[in-house]
Amino acid sequence: MVTKEILQSHYREYAAQPEEWVANMAATKKSIVKCVVEELNYHPREKVRVAVLGASDKRYLSIHEKIFCEVFCQPVEVVTYDLDSKHLKDAGNVVEHDVTEPFPQTGFSVVFSHELLKFLTPSEQVQALRNAYHALQTGGIAMHVVHAPSLYGTAELREWQYRVDPNHLLENVANEAISGRLLRFESESNVDWLRETCVILFEKR
Ligand SMILES: C[S@@+](CC[C@H](N)C(=O)[O-])C[C@H]1O[C@@H](n2cnc3c(N)ncnc32)[C@H](O)[C@@H]1O
End-to-end CA distance of the chain: 31
pLDDT interval class at 205 (50, 70, 90): confident
Instruction: Report the separation in Å between the CA atom of 66 and the middle of ligand 1, taken as the mean of its atom positions.
Output: 20
**Cβ–Cβ < 8 Å for 22, 189:** no
The domain of 185 spans: 4-203
Task: Give the position, in ligand 1's atom list, of the atom nearest the Cα of 2.
Answer: 16
CATH of the domain at 85: 3.40.50.150
Q: What is the pLDDT of residues 162-177, one digit of tens each?
A: 999 999 999 999 999 9
Question: Where does the chain have alpha helices with state H?
Answer: 4-15, 19-40, 59-72, 122-134, 148-152, 166-174
Q: What is the pLDDT of residues 55-98, one digit of tens each?
A: 999 999 999 999 999 999 999 999 999 999 999 987 889 999 99
Residue nearest to atom 27 of ligand 1 (CA): 56
Q: If you average pLDDT over every residue of the chain, what do you get?
A: 96
Q: What is the pLDDT of residues 189-203, one digit of tens each?
A: 999 999 999 999 999
Task: Give the position, in ligand 1's atom list, of the atom nearest the Cα of 60.
Answer: 6
Is the pTM for the entire model greater than 0.75? Answer: yes
Task: Give the position, in ligand 1's atom list, of the atom nearest the Cα of 52.
Answer: 1
Residue nearest to atom 6 of ligand 1 (CA): 115
Confidence (pLDDT) at 91: 84
Residues 6 or more apart in contact with residue 171 via CB below 8 angstroms: none
Residue nearest to atom 15 of ligand 1 (CA): 119
**Cβ–Cβ < 8 Å for 111, 129:** no
- Per the structure, the count of domains in the chain is 1
- When computed from its CA atoms, the radius of gyration of the chain, rounded to whole angstroms, is 16
Confidence (pLDDT) at 67: 98
